[in-house]
Amino acid sequence: MAKEKMVVLKEADLTNNCPECFNQELKLTFYQKHTYGRLFHRTTKDIEHEIKCTKCNSLIYPVSWTEDIERVYEYYRRMAAPKRATIRFTTLFYVLILLLTSIVAIGGYFIIQEFI
């Protein structure tokens, strides 16, 4: 079973007012999704964001954003460049491929020897 992990791409402290407590301690975080399995590690191009007030610990959802928060969000979204979407295979994958190839080769060798 593959495990998913959200890796932080960019964090920024915002000076905008929180819509809940009107304090100026907001933190904007961009995450990129990584999947880890036994045979491969995958980096996806999916990016998620979260704006959280560090004073009242509430998440600020896009419904309650002000125009200033939207402007700052768009600015930082352009700055958060995601890593390339890739798949890296693990050592276990290569060992299994090598084992499967050798079993097929040995089986083919014995079949050929039987006809000779």
pLDDT (tens digit per residue) in 57-105: 889 898 988 888 899 999 999 988 888 999 999 999 999 999 999 999 9
Total structural domains within the chain: 1
Domain that holds residue 47: 3-89
Query: Do the domain assignments include residue 104?
Result: no
Query: Do the domain assignments include residue 37?
Result: yes
pTM of the model: 0.75
100 phi and psi angles, rounded to 5 deg: -65, -40
Query: Do the domain assignments include residue 29?
Result: yes
CB-based burial label for 30 (10 Å; 0-12, 13-18, 19+) = buried
Asked if the model's pLDDT at residue 115 lies above 80, the reply is: no
90 phi and psi angles, rounded to 5 deg: -90, 175
Which of 69, 66, 45, 54 minimizes the C-alpha distance to 21?
54
Query: Do the domain assignments include residue 11?
Result: yes
Q: Running DSSP on this structure, what letter comes out for residue 89? A: E
Query: Do the domain assignments include residue 63?
Result: yes
Which pLDDT score is estimated for 43?
A: 92
For the record, the structure tokens of 35 come out as: 């999947």
Asked if the model's pLDDT at residue 27 lies above 90, the reply is: yes
Query: Do the domain assignments include residue 110?
Result: no
Which pLDDT score is estimated for 81?
A: 85
Asked if the model's pLDDT at residue 51 lies above 80, the reply is: yes
Which pLDDT score is estimated for 87?
A: 93
How many Å apart are CA 55 and CA 37, to the nearest integer? Answer: 37
Asked if the model's pLDDT at residue 24 lies above 90, the reply is: no
In percent, how much of the chain has pLDDT > 70? 98
102 phi and psi angles, rounded to 5 deg: -70, -35
